[in-house]
Amino acid sequence: MSRTDQTPPQAVADGGRAPGSLLSRVQADRSVTRMVVLVVVAFAFFAVLNPRVFLSSINLQNIAISSPEIGVLALAMMLAMLTGGIDLSLVSIANLSAITISTLFTAVGENDPALAQSLAPLFVLAGIGVGLLGGLVNGFLVSRVGITPILATLGTMQAFNGLAVVWTGGTVLYGSPDSLTSLGQTAIAGVPVLFVVLLVTAAVVAVVVNRTPIGRKVQLQGANPVAARYSGIDSRQVLMRTYLISGALGGLAGVLFLSRNPTASADYGASYVLLVIVIAVLGGTNPNGGFATVTGVVLATLTLQIVASGFTAIRLSSYQYAIAQGAILIAVMVIDQVRWRRRPPRRRAGTSQASTPA
């Protein structure tokens, strides 16, 4: 934590900066540093305990292939949390997207298999479109009707999931374009394409959040909705766009589900809802809004996947992984909180206007 402690001189040095962005830089440094340390520690821990299994290339490949779908969902969750909201419906949206693609492919493929294969990009777009539609519903409920995000998305989570159950009749759908499946299996220079998709998505989200007007508005909306309104920010529009983007990311996650595994069902990834919240918070996202880092979230995704596969490598059960998830989440929150309290009063006073200790 030496980096954080060096910040006051830095603060003097860039005196021209707005306090808000300085604070977010301090926090960004801190949560990214923490996540780098955690990734390395987790990796080293399991590498030492069972190097033969954990360091095998299959295991490393597995980590890289299973991370992207969770990572994309976590980024979507991060966006919703950035505005001070939450999106519980993401996994349901992702499943609807996967089901749409699979159904379209099977329907077209019945008459003309070759055509179905060649229309794959169109199907993928349809899947992401379904995600956008889900996001539109969420955005409408949150921004126009004014329902609290946690309740609105709780309702849509049930509704979307119910639709998926009705659609599939509770069964597992088989069938997805070959190009998607092969995409899930190829690797460029040892790095699976799916992982590249995650990195590209993360980069795009990072640019949107940090470099575009809409990203700024999203951050301000989450940090202080009242100030945002008095600054002339149309909070309805900001919220609507946020949920649209996170819905689209949910749709993309559905595409990733399908490319990893050519089946779609209504209840795939039921445990992801909680996992994704854990990842977002672990990655330094303030659940009260206003602050998040994309790098932190990506690193948190990796950490949890490393722990998951590490637990398998040292033969611990998925139940023990659930314990670890919960313990990590609470430990990180407690440590953060204790650190906030211990901050010297002078510095605390200096930053208090923008800080909302979670």
Least distance in angstroms from the C-beta of 5 to other proteins: 22
| Interface segment toward other proteins; rule CB under 8 A; list 57-65, 189-197, 224-232, 269-277 | 269-277
Residues 334-353 that bind other proteins (CB under 8 A): 334, 337-338
Q: Using CA atoms, how far apart are residues 177 and 289, in angstroms rounded to an integer?
A: 39
The answer to whether 281 and 288 have CB atoms below 8 angstroms apart is no
Residues 275-294 that bind other proteins (CB under 8 A): 277-278, 281, 287-288
Least distance in angstroms from the C-beta of 7 to other proteins: 24
Interface with other proteins, residue 148, by CB under 8 A: yes
| Run of H or E including 188 | strand 187-188
User: What b/e sequence results for 243-270 when a residue is b if at least 16 CB atoms lie within 10 Å of its CB, and e otherwise?
Assistant: bbbbbbbbbbbbbbbbbbebebbbebbe
Looking at beta carbons only, is 278 or 294 nearer to other proteins? 278
Q: Using CA atoms, how far apart are residues 101 and 104, in angstroms rounded to an integer?
A: 5
Interface with other proteins, residue 322, by CB under 8 A: yes
The answer to whether 96 and 223 have CB atoms below 8 angstroms apart is no
Looking at beta carbons only, is 122 or 330 nearer to other proteins? 330
Looking at beta carbons only, is 194 or 279 nearer to other proteins? 279
Least distance in angstroms from the C-beta of 165 to other proteins: 5
The answer to whether 266 and 135 have CB atoms below 8 angstroms apart is no
Q: Using CA atoms, how far apart are residues 190 and 233, in angstroms rounded to an integer?
A: 45
Q: Using CA atoms, how far apart are residues 226 and 232, in angstroms rounded to an integer?
A: 10
The answer to whether 74 and 282 have CB atoms below 8 angstroms apart is no
Q: Which residues contact 69 (CB under 8 A, 6 or more apart)?
A: 94, 194, 253, 256, 257, 260, 269
Interface with other proteins, residue 162, by CB under 8 A: yes
Interface with other proteins, residue 357, by CB under 8 A: yes
Residue of the chain from 118, 186, 320, 353 that contacts other proteins (CB under 8 A): 320
Least distance in angstroms from the C-beta of 86 to other proteins: 8
What secondary structure letter does DSSP report for 189?
T
Interface with other proteins, residue 193, by CB under 8 A: no
Looking at beta carbons only, is 147 or 196 nearer to other proteins? 147
Looking at beta carbons only, is 118 or 148 nearer to other proteins? 148
Looking at beta carbons only, is 29 or 267 nearer to other proteins? 267
Alpha-carbon separation of residue 122 from 42, 100, 103, 138, 251 (angstroms): 40, 12, 13, 24, 14
Interface with other proteins, residue 160, by CB under 8 A: yes
Interface with other proteins, residue 297, by CB under 8 A: no
Least distance in angstroms from the C-beta of 291 to other proteins: 14
Interface with other proteins, residue 136, by CB under 8 A: no
Residue of the chain from 26, 63, 88, 304 that contacts other proteins (CB under 8 A): 88
Residue reference for tokens 């211990």: 342
| Run of H or E including 132 | helix 120-139
Cα-based torsion angle of the residue sequence 100, 203, 226, 223 in order, rounded to the nearest 10 degrees: 120
Residue of the chain from 319, 342, 344, 345 that contacts other proteins (CB under 8 A): 319
Q: What is the per-residue binding string for other proteins in 206-225, x denoting contact by CB under 8 A?
A: --------------------
Interface with other proteins, residue 314, by CB under 8 A: no
**Other residues' Cβ atoms within 10 Å of the Cβ of residue 109:** 16
| Interface segment toward other proteins; rule CB under 8 A; list 14-22, 223-231, 247-255, 314-322 | 314-322
Looking at beta carbons only, is 41 or 151 nearer to other proteins? 151
Establish how many alpha carbons lie within 13 A of residue 89's alpha carbon, considering only the half-sphere containing its beta carbon. Answer: 38
Binding stretches for other proteins (CB under 8 A): 86, 88, 141, 145-148, 150-152, 154-163, 165-166, 169-170, 270, 274, 277-278, 281, 287-288, 317, 319-327, 329-330, 333-334, 337-338, 357-358
